[in-house]
Amino acid sequence: MKDVFGNVVTTSRPETVAALDSYGRAFLSYGPELPEIIAAADADPGCGLVNAHAAIVHMAFEAARGHRAARPYL
């Protein structure tokens, strides 16, 4: 499967790709949908791309709390 930007996504879940597409648009526009990527990562722990983006959302807090929250997704 591929996301809206043409990246290959290793998953069998179309919901994961839809979440990545929504996240990509929200990230570029600072949209309120950013946290949805965390739920997608929780639902698809085997997809490295969605988990990496969930970690990025947590790490954007630039604080120890955010870094700790990111660890399970790395």
Q: What number of H helices and E strands is found in the chain?
A: 4, 0
pLDDT in tens, the chain (74 residues): 999 999 999 999 999 999 999 999 888 888 888 889 999 999 999 999 999 999 999 998 888 999 999 999 99
3-class SS of residue 38:
helix
- Do the Cβ atoms of 49 and 20 come closer than 8 Å? yes
- Do the Cβ atoms of 43 and 20 come closer than 8 Å? no
What pTM was computed for the model?
Answer: 0.77
Least Cα distance to 57 among 9, 5, 30, 18 occurs for 30
Phi first, then psi, for residue 30 (nearest 5°) are 55, 40
